[in-house]
Structure 1
Amino acid sequence: MMKVAVTGASGVLGSAVFKAFQAMDGVEVIGLANSRAGAGLRKLNLTNKEDVEVFLTELKPNWVIHCAAERRPDVAEKDPAAAQRLNAEVPGFLASLSKTLKFKLVYISTDYVFDGTSPPYTPTSLTNPLQLYGKSKRDGELAVLCVDGAQVVVLRVPVLYGPAPKNSDSAINILLDVVQDQSGKTYKMDHYATRYPTNVIDIANFLVRLTRLKEPIPPILHYSSDEPYTKYEICLTFAKILGLPHKHIIPDSEPPTGAGATTRPRDCQLYTKETEALLGGDLGLSLFEEWWTEALKK
């Protein structure tokens, strides 16, 4: 029986990955969480190296899918040391365990390792992150790829959406709250940066397929939708689906500036042809408006 450990299994992506592997026959999956452990998840502080090594040594997993991360750029800027520890040091240690314990490690990275000036970006494109979050994830990539003898895959993904305990868990889902706030409050909404929101269920299903592949897997893969949206355009889409007015949402076409503004790249589109070839041509992507139309009916 194949054993899979999923870190960050209480998060939006991690919970989708955990459920996808639970639905597989012949797989034992263990979901790991820290602050939100419970509901069948094992509590484990990934920054405690001794506990992590003991756990994985006893478990003897075939795969570790590392979804745990500080994913919020604004929060990363406020506590750089904590972001660096979780986004770079922890995956580096997991890669060293991958070498000694002989499991395959998938490190979930981000399109924000690129500067957004010359899309689309291939897996071999030079990274040049603009802010601390992107730098910490880039450092995580280097940490796992530099462990000689480790079996690691870096999977870069863009901004995510999908089922979530609360809308604030996703930078996309939370825009529903903005659209539905008809109190008279106005919102300036980013109409500068192009994003490619991708469904966590699709990524989870892709990871299941990845573990079944017999051929060698490249060290860096990209998985992304190809539908471009600004945050303002996403709000318009939600307003259309919900039948709500959107005059309280004001498009902002300028790059973020000023004190406290976190720099964000303009367009980090990920080139996915290598991933498509690996899967035989089908990434299995949801259409954004179609998925949300069905989800909001429920």
Structure 2
Amino acid sequence: MTSRVIITGASGVLGSAVRQAFTASTTTSEVLSLAHTRSGDGLTKLDLLDSAEVERVFREFKPNWVIHCAAERRPDVAEKDPQGAQKLNADVPEVLARLSKSLKFTLVYISTDYVFDGTSPPYPPSARPNPLQLYGQSKLDGELKILGVEGATAVILRVPVLYGPAPRNSDTAVNILVDVVQDQSGKSYKMDHYATRYPTLTVDIANFLVKLSAYKKPIPPILHYSGAEPFTKYEMCLVFAQILGLPHTHIVPDAEPPTGPGATTRPKDCKLYTQETEELGLEDGLGLTLFEEWWTEYLKIQKK
């Protein structure tokens, strides 16, 4: 049976990859791609904070699956606008969970490894969350609100920092490091060499979600999906410098935790334990792409 799928945040880096994967899938009959400000090119503009309009659109489309990618994903921005982050990251998911209950669709909520404090990795889905900053707390609140809607069919998918095809490198916290490496103007950059990250390709997540939507057995309420290769941001810069054949002396490693005015607290190591996800037995498992291998090909294409 083919599925009707709604994707929120479909103009974003993850949402775009998810949209492309579901559109290309033979298990999907129709995809409704929602965006906050953009329309055209297959995108439908919808303000997710307008719950009445959201309900109207969802009832009219009658989805089988809703992949909720829309979020305030930037920790620094969340700190500056906590009310806005809370509305988008926590209140909207609750509305979608209630619609899941009434309209009988499966909701996938994209959450974050930042619900953990980074002190005792790896973290299984059952580990107790303890976010260190407002962003992580707002995403955890979204999880709790979804789980609090009795009768909703929902899957919380926690993921780490993402990279992938993007219109601008500034669209992701990983892609933008390419710009830092390429800036040979003499400007110096202090780069985080404190926190260990597990950068994960958006295309891999998108393909996993397509396979998950065709899964016939019960799905656990919380799943973890993560790349397996550990990097600090400084180490990612070294990879990009090597691929591009550029010097990196202008990038200075900083092994201290972020402190001082305006600094957003970040956990040291939030490695997600993914065995439960692997045990689902989906074709090709997690289907993870190697970081340096993908970037070598991608940057080669970008040069053309």
Output the CA distance in 1 between the equivalents of 2:157 and 2:8.
Answer: 15
Contact 2:6 2:66 in 1 (8 A): yes
Output the CA distance in 2 between the equivalents of 1:272 and 1:213.
Answer: 17
Render the CA deviation track for 1:166-223: whole Å, top value 9, x for unaligned. Answer: 1111000000000000000000000000000000000000000000111100000000
Aligned to 1:289, which of 276, 281, 292? Answer: 292
Q: Normalised by the size of structure 1, how large is the TM-score?
A: 0.99
Output the CA distance in 2 between the equivalents of 1:42 and 1:90.
Answer: 18
Aligned residue in 2 for 1:78: 80
Following superposition of structure 1 onto structure 2, how do residues 229-268 of structure 1 map, counting pairs within 5 Å?
229-268=231-270
Aligned residue in 1 for 2:160: 158
Q: Which runs of 5 or more residues in structure 1 are unaligned?
A: none
Q: Which amino acid aligns with 2:80?
A: K
Aligned residue in 2 for 1:201: 203
Contact 2:38 2:44 in 1 (8 A): no
Post-superposition shift, 1:25?
A: 1.9
Output the CA distance in 2 between the equivalents of 1:39 and 1:69.
Answer: 21
Aligned-pair Cα RMSD in Å: 0.8
| 2:25 aligned with 1:21 | no
| 2:124 aligned with 1:125 | no
Render the CA deviation track for 1:93-128: whole Å, top value 9, x for unaligned. Answer: 100000001010000000000000000000000000
Output the CA distance in 1 between the equivalents of 2:286 and 2:27.
Answer: 23
Post-superposition shift, 1:35?
A: 1.8
Render the CA deviation track for 1:236-272: whole Å, top value 9, x for unaligned. Answer: 0000000000000000000000000000000000000
SS in 2 for 1:37: coil
Contact 1:10 1:37 in 2 (8 A): no
Output the CA distance in 2 between the equivalents of 1:108 and 1:84.
Answer: 15
Q: Normalised by the size of structure 2, how large is the TM-score?
A: 0.97
Aligned to 2:181, which of 154, 179, 186? Answer: 179
Aligned residue in 1 for 2:9: 8
Output the CA distance in 2 between the equivalents of 1:228 and 1:203.
Answer: 18
Q: Which amino acid aligns with 2:148?
A: C
Q: Which runs of 5 or more residues in structure 2 are unaligned?
A: none
Q: Percent identity?
A: 71
SS in 2 for 1:139: helix
Post-superposition shift, 1:38?
A: 2.8
The count of corresponding residues between Structure 1 and Structure 2 is 298
Aligned residue in 1 for 2:230: 228
Aligned residue in 1 for 2:149: 147
SS in 2 for 1:278: coil
Output the CA distance in 1 between the equivalents of 2:27 and 2:157.
Answer: 24
Post-superposition shift, 1:36?
A: 2.8
Aligned residue in 1 for 2:138: 136
Higher mean C-alpha deviation, range 97-106 or range 20-29? 20-29
Contact 2:111 2:158 in 1 (8 A): yes
